[in-house]
């Protein structure tokens, strides 16, 4: 049998769905505006950089050495010294108002103990309600204290003619792929995945359910239309819209946020197309299974946004998750697309490294397509 009727009917469904998208200008505007709004909001608001930690200094020593330590904290970009205190009470009040996170308490014998070759105890009080930020800030504060104490003791020994105090080990740190340690550089590629997953799944999750609620599905049942033709036709219209969203999101990431694109842009585009196919077919499957726009929308949000945000490695490292949860992440395509985009944007890796993730995305798209065709076929039968 000739394949011409197959593609003719598929094109007719695609044209019908495209006309519906173009006529519904509010939905079209939302589909084009939401990705940019989400990218701007999350890109600027969501950051894992820890700097300008609100800090209060309680200097009980009052010597030139302790004042130099206070100046070190004031000059560091990681700390924002809000002022000095004469007791613990001001820090407690600031913590209660969420106005301070760290208090540095310099003991009264700080300089004497340090210059005598002993190790004075500088007290660091943290607000541990944000444990992640507190632990990172603790590392910054400890490194600053150790560096200052070492320099002070070495200068004192030099003045006394007692020799130099050298570091036993000199660490030379070199950071690959993201040398400035900007969280935006790995957040934005992950955001592109989240945005595409949400837009693609939600757009198509309503399409067949809408046909049932509007009563137009009965007219489709009277035609010689087959399930693969209906699935491919409905997917095609939203695939074009998804490509526009993908190009807009990737362009904003590079031009607005300055995220480096070290890999091949064509590979970004090709892998994005494969990911979009799987997400769109999944939305059609949900739409055919739910048969209600409200239920289809809820299922689309539950199976697109939450896994893409929580289980893809976008924000939380998969390696730190429980073993059972790590196994669950393999089911969701967002995990593989996040790895692809981070490799392409930050590391400049190519197909030789990423072919496994791209192949898994293609397998996922094929499996979901078969599921969608089967479910739609059951509805048409």
**pLDDT of 25-71, one tens digit each?**
777 777 777 777 878 877 777 766 677 888 899 888 888 888 888 88
DSSP-derived letter for residue 172 is -
In a domain, 131, yes or no: yes
- Give dist(CA 298, CA 309) in Å, integer: 16
Cα 155 from chain centre: 45
Grade residue 367 by pLDDT with cuts at 50, 70 and 90.
very high
pLDDT tens for 311-358 read 888 877 788 788 898 899 999 999 999 999 988 988 888 888 889 999
Residue 363 has pLDDT above 60, yes or no: yes
State the pairing for strand pair 123-126/102-106.
antiparallel
The number of folded domains in the chain is 2
> In this structure, what token pair is assigned to residue 74?
């004031």
Nearest to 186 by CA among 346, 299, 364: 346
| Domain co-membership, 136 together with 218 | no
Q: What is the pLDDT of residue 48?
A: 67
pLDDT tens for 298-320 read 888 888 878 888 888 887 778 87
| Domain co-membership, 42 together with 126 | no
| Domain co-membership, 231 together with 365 | yes
Q: What is the pLDDT of residue 162?
A: 58
356 φ/ψ angles, rounded to the nearest 5 degrees: -65, -45
The strands making up 53-59's β-sheet, listed across from edge to edge, are 79-84, 53-59, 102-106, 123-126
> In this structure, what token pair is assigned to residue 237?
């219209």
DSSP H or E stretch at residue 62? none
| Domain co-membership, 229 together with 347 | yes
176 φ/ψ angles, rounded to the nearest 5 degrees: -90, 150
Q: Are 277 and 231 contacting, i.e. CB atoms less than 8 angstroms apart?
A: no
DSSP H or E stretch at residue 58? strand 53-59
Q: Which of 160, 190, 206 is the last residue of a domain?
A: 160
| Domain co-membership, 225 together with 310 | yes
| Domain co-membership, 132 together with 251 | no
| Domain co-membership, 289 together with 211 | yes
| Domain co-membership, 84 together with 36 | no
CA distances in angstroms from 266 to 36, 203, 269, listed in the order given:
22, 25, 5
Nearest to 199 by CA among 314, 38, 329, 367: 38
Q: Which of 97, 130, 160 is the last residue of a domain?
A: 160
Q: Are 32 and 244 contacting, i.e. CB atoms less than 8 angstroms apart?
A: yes
In a domain, 165, yes or no: no
Q: Which of 129, 160, 191 is the last residue of a domain?
A: 160
Print the domain residue range for 366.
14-47+182-380
In a domain, 318, yes or no: yes
Q: At what angle do helices 227-255 and 184-205 cross, to 10 degrees?
A: 150
- Give dist(CA 11, CA 1) in Å, integer: 18
| Domain co-membership, 156 together with 293 | no
| Domain co-membership, 285 together with 317 | yes
To the nearest whole percent, how much of the chain has pLDDT over 70? Answer: 88
Count how many residues are written for the chain. 381
Mean pLDDT value across residues 8-18: 80
Q: What is the pLDDT of residue 1?
A: 43
In a domain, 172, yes or no: no
pLDDT tens for 111-132 read 787 777 677 788 888 887 777 7
Q: Are 109 and 126 contacting, i.e. CB atoms less than 8 angstroms apart?
A: no
| Domain co-membership, 33 together with 79 | no
């Amino acid at each position: 049998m000739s394949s011409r009727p197959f593609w003719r009917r598929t094109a007719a469904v695609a044209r019908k769905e495209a006309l519906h998208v173009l006529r519904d200008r509010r939905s079209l505007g939302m589909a084009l505006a939401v990705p940019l709004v989400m990218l701007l909001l999350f890109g600027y608001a969501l950051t894992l950089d820890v700097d300008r930690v609100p800090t209060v200094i309680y200097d009980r020593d009052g010597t030139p050495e302790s004042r130099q330590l206070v100046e070190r904290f004031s000059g560091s970009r990681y700390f924002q010294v809000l002022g000095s205190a004469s007791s613990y009470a001001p820090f407690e009040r600031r913590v209660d108002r969420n106005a301070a996170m760290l208090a540095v308490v310099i003991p009264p014998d700080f300089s004497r103990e340090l210059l005598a070759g002993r190790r004075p105890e500088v007290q660091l009080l943290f607000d541990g309600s944000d444990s992640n930020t507190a632990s990172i800030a603790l590392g910054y504060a400890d490194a600053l204290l150790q560096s200052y104490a070492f320099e002070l003791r070495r200068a004192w020994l030099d003045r006394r003619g007692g020799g130099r105090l050298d570091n036993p080990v000199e660490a030379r740190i070199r950071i690959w792929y993201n040398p400035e340690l900007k969280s935006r550089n790995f957040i934005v590629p992950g955001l592109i995945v989240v945005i595409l997953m949400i837009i693609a799944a939600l757009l198509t999750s309503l399409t067949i359910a809408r046909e049932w609620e509007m009563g137009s599905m009965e007219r489709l049942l009277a035609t010689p239309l087959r399930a693969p033709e209906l699935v491919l036709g409905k997917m095609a219209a939203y695939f074009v819209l998804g490509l526009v969203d993908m190009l807009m999101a990737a362009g904003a990431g590079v031009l607005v946020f300055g995220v480096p694109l070290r890999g091949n842009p064509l590979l970004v585009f090709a892998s994005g197309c494969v990911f979009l196919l799987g997400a769109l077919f999944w939305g059609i499957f949900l739409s055919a299974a739910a048969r209600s726009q409200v239920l289809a929308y809820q299922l689309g949000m539950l199976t697109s946004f939450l896994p893409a945000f929580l289980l893809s490695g976008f924000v939380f490292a998969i390696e730190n998750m429980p073993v059972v949860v790590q196994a669950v992440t393999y089911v969701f395509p967002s995990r593989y697309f996040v790895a692809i985009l981070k490799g392409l944007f930050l590391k400049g890796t190519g197909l030789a490294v990423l072919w496994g993730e791209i192949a898994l995305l293609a397998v996922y798209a094929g499996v979901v397509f078969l599921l969608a065709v089967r479910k739609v076929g059951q509805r048409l039968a």
